[in-house]
Amino acid sequence: MSLPKDFLWGFATASYQIEGSVDVDGRGASIWDTFSAIPGKIADGSSGAVACDSYKRTDEDISLLKSLGANSYRFSIAWSRIIPLGGRNDPINQAGIDHYVKFVDDLLEAGIQPFITLFHWDLPDGLDKRYGGLLNREEFPLDFEHYARVLFKAIPKCQHWITFNEPWCSSILGYNTGYFAPGHTSDRSKSAVGDSAREPWTVGHNILIAHGLAVKAYREDFKPTQGGEIGITLNGDATLPWDPEDPADVEACDRKIEFAISWFADPIYFGHYPESMRKQLGDRLPTFTPEEVALIKGSNDFYGMNHYTANYIKHKKTPPPDDDFLGNLETLFYNKAGDCIGPETQSFWLRPHAQGFRDLLNWLSKRYGYPKIYVTENGTSLKDENDMPLEQIVNDDFRVKYFDDYVNALAKASAEDGVNVQAYLAWSLLDNYEWAEGFQTRFGVTYVDYVNNQKRYPKKSAKSLKPLFDSLIKKD
């Protein structure tokens, strides 16, 4: 037994990926509705218009969570269901609030702790059109704070709030590569707008300010009576040197994590951006005013950690191009000796390497003073899973092994390394809309039949987590 007795575990999802019902009960459009309608942006030409139909199936999803033994569930709220146009002076949609209030009540009645994410990439399209959305330093943080306040007031029973999910993805994939909504990039063959060298760093800065405002609002006006906690969720991969004998590759491993994670975590824990980023980006990286430092530094009650994979890291000797966001390095799946980091999956960026999870937990803990860590996403796709017959899909031994390896790595980090990890939320409860990959890639522990009324079939992995955690969580 190596995890604390009050350890929380369960599953995670995101609103646009599972809810569907995009034109129901007053919901406004999000940037993902707009982006997915552009030909060529989504691999299979699909959208989240129906997805898993979870907006209409909350009872079914809660029954599924109960049957799997989960005591926690992380989901996100669609901002455009709460404020369809998004802004602080725009009308509030009571039907959207009522939906999520009832959902939280029903989860708690079922003995399941809600973890609510306020922003999982689906910005109201009205704000993007009105003032450039995440690019606007003056308007966006204030509109986000207002949206957050509406929910803090409406859902006092929630004890675990997450401001932003993976701001790296919003910033880099949304404003550098153009792979995600709203699709900005300097590549004019992909987008008529965007400056890959500057926009992502502006967006990241504005997200940090918005996060700080929401945390300040919660701590001052809601936490004293509600007693909950609030933080941000950051994503990042584990790193191993391509050549362990080359100090430049070893150094590049840290730089890769700094450009992905410390970009957001350093301001929150230390009040400034990493030196490696300031050195490479120069004046393209915004600077914090003293007021912004005071707002952002210390704005985490816990560290939300999303993690999936690892890479071998090889430094580059040539100067970085202006649109580089990695830290002037290569990410590889094979090292100098020809070793492969892990088996292929359906996701081009993901290969399992559980030891990397333990290593990264330790890296983060040492850098940030051993904060309380909630693992808010961890999971895997399977190579060609979408093309398999149902009986093969539900016997997902590859995913079972992934969870077993990663959760045991987590338990060792807790028991042997002193890492303060207190929750694990597997991605994902359901197969769902995998953003630019559409419905071709499946991450769920539950198969969703998109052709036949979104019927759910729990896979072997769904049933494997309860006995796994029962074997690891300390008893009274």
Q: Using one digit for the tens of pLDDT, what is the confidence trace for 65-117?
A: 999 999 999 999 999 999 999 999 999 999 999 999 999 999 999 999 999 99
* 234-259 tens-digit pLDDT: 999 999 999 999 999 999 999 999 99
Contact 309, 342 (CB under 8 A): yes
- What positions carry a catalytic annotation? 166, 377
pLDDT recorded at residue 376? 99
Query: Can you tell me the distance from the alpha carbon of 9 to that of 2, in angstroms, rounded to the nearest whole number?
Result: 14
Helix residue ranges, H only, 37-175: 58-68, 79-82, 94-109, 125-131, 140-154, 167-168, 174-175
DSSP 370: S
Evaluate if residue 276 carries a pLDDT over 80.
yes
Q: How far apart are CA 446 and CA 458, in angstroms?
A: 4
Helix (H) or strand (E) holding 239: strand 238-241
Where does residue 327 fall: left (phi above 0), alpha (psi -120 to 50 degrees), or beta otherwise? left
Predicted confidence at residue 359, as pLDDT, reads 98
Q: Which helix (H) or strand (E) holds 199?
A: helix 199-221
- The residues facing 73 across adjacent strands are 11, 114
List pLDDT tens digits, range 295-335: 999 999 999 999 999 999 999 999 999 999 999 999 999 99
The chain-wide mean pLDDT, for the chain, equals 98
Q: Does residue 138 surpass a pLDDT of 90?
A: yes
In angstroms, rounded to a whole number, what is the distance separating the alpha carbons of residues 1 and 397? 24
- What are 285's two structure tokens? 């990286």
Q: Is the separation of the CB atoms in 128 and 199 below 8 Å?
A: no
Question: What local confidence, expressed as pLDDT, does residue 1 receive?
Answer: 74
User: Is 89 strand, coil or helix?
Assistant: coil
* Predicted pLDDT at 217: 99
Any residues with CB less than 8 A from the CB of 336 and at least 6 apart, and which?
Answer: 242, 243
- Run of H or E residues at 230: strand 229-235
Burial of 82 (0-12, 13-18, 19+ CB in 10 A): buried
Mean local confidence (pLDDT), 403-416: 98
Mean pLDDT, to the nearest integer, of 393-409?
Answer: 98
The CA radius of gyration of the chain, in Å to the nearest whole number, is 21
> For helices 263-270 and 199-221, what crossing angle results, to 10°?
40
User: What average pLDDT score do residues 114-134 get?
Assistant: 98
**Digit-coded pLDDT (tens) for 188-201:** 999 999 999 999 99
**Which residues are bridge partners to 9 per DSSP?**
424
Is the pLDDT confidence value at 167 over 90? yes
Percent of the chain at pLDDT above 70? 100
Per-residue pLDDT, 62: 98
Cα–Cα distance, 349 to 172 (Å, whole number) = 15
The tokens 């699909």 sit on which residue? 46
The token pair at 126 is 């009205």
pLDDT value at residue 476: 80
pLDDT of res. 475? 92
pTM of the model: 0.98
Q: What is the pLDDT of residue 286?
A: 98
Q: What is the residue whose two structure tokens read 């998004």?
A: 86
For the chain, domains (ranges, CATH) are 8-244+302-309+344-472 (3.20.20.80)
What separation, in Å, do the N-terminal and C-terminal C-alpha atoms of the chain show? 11
